[in-house]
Structure 1
Amino acid sequence: MSEPTTETRYQVVRNDEEQYSIWAEGRPMPAGWHTTGVTGSQDECLAHIGEVWTDMRPKSLRVAMGEG
């Protein structure tokens, strides 16, 4: 008899350069990254990032270009 599988839950994280990624819930957060409050499956989190991360340039570059 096989054991039930549980799908890994993820959280959307963002760094100070406003770059996004996902991180497995329950794992220690890497330095410089912060949770955004969005959690779900890998696909759900990646879909959210696709909606909100429309400018891939790091914040420091946008600021240097006078855009941020």
Structure 2
Amino acid sequence: MTASDVQRQVLVNTEGQYAIHPVRLSPPNGWLPAGFTGTEAACMEFVDQTWTDMRPQSLIDHMSRSSK
């Protein structure tokens, strides 16, 4: 098995930021499974399609409040 064959999971934090993490390891504090597992390439594709706004959620919220 090569490194590219290792199953990964996509994680997300409260700021809406995404990360890829080995399935065999528990997510670090502050990160939760985003509901997608696969190869690193498949996870990267999922993240690319899902995480379209790179701003942290706190900034999105702040900008929303400021524009009212």
Please name the residue that 1:47 is paired with.
Answer: 45
Once residues 12 and 29 of structure 1 are traced to their aligned partners in structure 2, the CA distance between those partners, rounded to angstroms, is 10
Please state how far the C-alpha of 1:37 moved relative to its aligned partner.
1.3
4+ runs deviating over 3 angstroms: none
Normalised TM-score (structure 1) = 0.87
Residue number among 29, 32, 35 corresponding to 1:34 in the alignment: 32
Aligned length: 63
Q: Percent identity?
A: 38
Q: CA RMSD in A?
A: 1.2
Residue number among 21, 25, 46 corresponding to 1:23 in the alignment: 21
Once residues 65 and 36 of structure 1 are traced to their aligned partners in structure 2, the CA distance between those partners, rounded to angstroms, is 25
Deviations 1:11-66 (A, max 9, x none): 00000000001000111210000001100000000000000100000000000000
* Structure number with bigger Rg: 1
Structure with greater proportional helix content = 2
Structure 1 gaps of 5+ residues are none
Once residues 21 and 29 of structure 1 are traced to their aligned partners in structure 2, the CA distance between those partners, rounded to angstroms, is 10
Normalised TM-score (structure 2) = 0.87
Structure 2 gaps of 5+ residues are none
Please name the residue that 2:59 is paired with.
Answer: 61
